[in-house]
């Protein structure tokens, strides 16, 4: 078990090169029920060193602008080597290109640093439960016209299932809504993953967000 944590806690590591920012985040997270800060890092190198020698947390908070290994590099390393760990970006950058680049690099969520405290808690719980979170403001900036079926080779039924998966619906719930068996839904989901080259639900959710199939909530 992680040092200082109890079973069921959301274990968090804070990564930011500003001591005051880390201290403020740690104090804020301490007020949240079931959330426990298990480590801190000043930059990407410290974070990766921490992960190599400690039990893995559920969530890592990542700033994009850090010396040495920056946030985008960290996200790619995390996505490749620690895909089970959720990464929530906290940044002052609000350009759609930066948000899209972060999500494409493997971020589980993206939140502005000036977000209200309750949204940080909501984002943490969302990335743990659903694998993805974008603030409503940022989600709107990324919304694109809905998928054209020809570009990605998805059938209309697969588009429906992809959208439902991204909203956090289970195979049983999707099957009930679409009058399909849960096994049939699972087959469709596997085919969608194969078609898109995506290997997990978090990746499908990020894809659906970028394509405008679902709004962050």
**48 and 116 share one domain:** yes
Which range of residues forms the domain containing residue 118?
Answer: 10-142
**49 and 128 share one domain:** yes
Question: What percentage of the chain reaches a pLDDT higher than 70?
Answer: 88
Tell me if 171 is assigned to some domain: yes
Which residue did the predictor score with more confidence, 210 or 74? Answer: 74
Count of domains observed in the chain: 2
Q: How many residues does the chain have?
A: 217
**81 and 184 share one domain:** no
Q: Tokens 């195979």 appear where? A: 171
pLDDT digits (tens, 9 = 90+) for 25-80: 999 999 999 999 999 999 999 999 999 999 999 999 999 888 888 888 999 999 88
Query: CB–CB of 12/86 below 8 Å?
Result: no
**Tokens representing residue 100 in the block:** 């899209």
For the full predicted model, state whether its pTM sits above 0.75.
no
Query: CB–CB of 26/14 below 8 Å?
Result: yes
pLDDT digits (tens, 9 = 90+) for 144-185: 444 444 346 777 788 888 988 888 889 999 988 888 888 888
Query: CB–CB of 140/94 below 8 Å?
Result: no
Which CATH number covers residue 180? 1.10.10.10
Q: Of 142, 171, 195, which residue constitutes the final position of a domain?
A: 142
Question: How many helices (H) and strands (E) would you count in the chain?
Answer: 11, 6
């Amino acid at each position: 078990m992680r040092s200082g944590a109890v079973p069921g806690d959301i274990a968090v590591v804070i990564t930011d090169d500003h001591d005051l920012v880390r201290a403020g985040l740690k104090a804020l997270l301490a007020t949240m029920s079931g959330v426990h800060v298990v480590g801190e890092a000043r930059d990407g190198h410290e974070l990766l060193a921490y992960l190599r020698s400690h039990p893995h947390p559920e969530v890592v908070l990542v700033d994009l602008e850090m010396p040495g290994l920056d946030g985008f590099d960290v996200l790619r390393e995390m996505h490749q080597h620690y895909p089970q760990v959720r990464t929530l970006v906290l940044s002052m950058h609000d350009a759609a290109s930066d948000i899209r680049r972060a999500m494409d690099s493997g971020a589980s969520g993206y939140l502005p640093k000036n977000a209200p405290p309750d949204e940080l808690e909501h984002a943490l719980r969302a990335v743990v439960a659903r694998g993805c979170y974008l603030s409503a403001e940022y989600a709107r900036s990324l919304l694109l016209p809905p998928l054209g079926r020809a570009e990605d080779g998805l059938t209309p039924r697969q588009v429906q299932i992809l959208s439902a998966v991204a909203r956090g619906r289970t195979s049983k719930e999707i099957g009930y809504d679409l009058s399909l068996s849960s096994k049939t839904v699972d087959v469709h989901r596997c085919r969608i993953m194969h078609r898109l080259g995506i290997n997990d639900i978090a990746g499908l959710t990020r894809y659906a967000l970028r394509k405008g199939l679902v709004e962050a909530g």
